[in-house]
């Protein structure tokens, strides 16, 4: 198993065109792909075909990953792998969710609500994983399978009280972990000041006034910059 820093270095090399680094990453993440495939057995698709789909999802994750996302690569890769498989299976109808997953999703939802009510924030994926004694990847799978809203969809304590996902999609209710990751991918293309504004506003729940103090600008300037950022991100989704 690769250490996190080693994985990050291989990802950097792979993104620069190093095929050997890419092969090492695929080989080391093969157990992750196989663990995900177990959830999609008995779907009438050959295992080798599913594995190839998983590899495609993993390669997309390698291509788009950034350490700025603030998550482990495996946590980022899981919804990308699942998304590739689910897109393939979509034509065959609804993908059933097991009773165990439904039960866990209810427990996670209750835990998220309790943390929100007591602490005024949403717990992180790692916190949820520790609370239920499961891997972060399992949390991501459960959230995605049950379409549960998590932090990036939550309304911060800002003047407008609207989640960044709602701003980007005009309230479209297609919330899934895949879309949250795609939002992060789009954010990675912003300039440094724009990234900082998004980080402070939507990940650290700072108000526009608080962001203005950090950047040493007026609240009005922050509001204008934020509007510009949202429009730029919306364009990336078209």
Q: Are residues 125 and 163 both part of a single domain?
A: no
Whether 215 has a pLDDT exceeding 50, the answer reads yes
Q: How confident is the model at residue 236 (pLDDT cuts 50, 70, 90)?
A: low
Residue 233: the pLDDT is: 73
**Separation CA 189–CA 182 (nearest Å):** 11
What residue has token string 């789909």?
53
Q: How confident is the model at residue 228 (pLDDT cuts 50, 70, 90)?
A: confident
Number of domains composing the chain = 3
Q: Are residues 26 and 79 both part of a single domain?
A: yes
**Per-residue pLDDT tens over the stretch 151-185:** 333 433 333 334 444 444 443 333 344 455 556 66
Q: Are residues 228 and 163 both part of a single domain?
A: yes
* Residue range(s) defining the domain that contains residue 117: 97-148
Q: Are residues 220 and 181 both part of a single domain?
A: yes
Q: Are residues 101 and 25 both part of a single domain?
A: no
Q: Are residues 12 and 41 both part of a single domain?
A: yes
* Rounded to 5°, angle at Cα 105 from 100 and 109: 155
**Per-residue pLDDT tens over the stretch 45-77:** 788 888 988 999 899 999 988 888 777 888 888
Whether 25 has a pLDDT exceeding 60, the answer reads yes
Residue 58: the pLDDT is: 93
Q: Are residues 162 and 101 both part of a single domain?
A: no
Residue 115: the pLDDT is: 83
Token output for 59: 């390669």
Residue 165: the pLDDT is: 43
Give me the CATH number covering residue 65.
1.10.1740.10
Of 110, 131, 148, the last residue of a domain is: 148
Q: Are residues 69 and 19 both part of a single domain?
A: yes
CB 137 within 8 A of CB 88: no
Token output for 132: 């239920």
Whether 143 has a pLDDT exceeding 50, the answer reads yes
Give me the CATH number covering residue 139.
1.10.10.10
**Percentage of the chain exceeding pLDDT 70:** 72
């Amino acid at each position: 198993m690769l250490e996190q820093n080693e994985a990050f270095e291989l990802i950097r090399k792979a993104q620069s065109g190093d095929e050997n680094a890419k092969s090492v990453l695929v080989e080391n993440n093969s157990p992750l792909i196989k663990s995900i495939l177990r959830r999609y057995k008995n779907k009438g698709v050959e295992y080798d075909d599913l594995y190839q789909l998983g590899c495609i999802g993993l390669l997309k994750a390698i291509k788009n990953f950034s350490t700025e996302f603030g998550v482990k690569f495996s946590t980022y890769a899981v919804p990308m792998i699942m998304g590739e498989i689910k897109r393939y299976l979509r034509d065959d109808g609804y993908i059933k969710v097991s009773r165990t997953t439904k039960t866990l999703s209810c427990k996670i939802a209750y835990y998220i609500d309790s943390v929100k009510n007591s602490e005024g924030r949403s717990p992180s994926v790692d916190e949820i994983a520790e609370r239920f004694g499961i891997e972060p990847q399992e949390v991501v799978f459960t959230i995605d399978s049950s379409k549960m809203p998590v932090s990036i969809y939550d309304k911060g304590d800002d003047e407008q009280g609207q989640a960044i996902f709602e701003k980007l999609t005009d309230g479209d209710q297609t919330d899934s972990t895949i879309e949250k990751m795609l939002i992060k991918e789009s954010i990675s293309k912003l300039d440094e000041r724009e990234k900082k504004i998004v980080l402070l506003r939507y990940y650290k729940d700072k108000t526009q006034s608080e962001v203005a103090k950090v950047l040493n600008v007026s609240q009005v300037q922050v509001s204008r910059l934020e509007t510009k950022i949202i429009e730029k991100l919306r364009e990336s989704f078209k």
